[in-house]
Amino acid sequence: MRTRITLACTECKQRNYNTMKDKKEHPERMETKKYCEFCKAHTLHKETK
């Protein structure tokens, strides 16, 4: 079952990305480095509710 998640920047706390993930294969919260338009740099983005 794939669910929709939102990724938020850890530095400025802006919610920048929406994506999908499979909760059965990856039950933990997702973390990835992505480009933040507000910080104008690649920063760590974490899954939010």
Task: Pull the structure tokens for residue 34.
Answer: 């992505």
Taking domain 2-48, whether its CATH number is 2.20.28.120 is answered by yes
User: Per-residue pLDDT tens for 1-49?
Assistant: 899 999 999 999 999 999 999 999 999 999 999 999 999 999 999 999 8
14: helix, coil or strand?
Answer: coil
pLDDT of residue 49: 81
Domain locations in the chain as residue ranges: 2-48
Global confidence as pTM = 0.85
- The sheet with strand 2-9 has its strands ordered as 15-22, 2-9, 41-48, 31-36
pLDDT of residue 47: 96
pLDDT of residue 34: 97
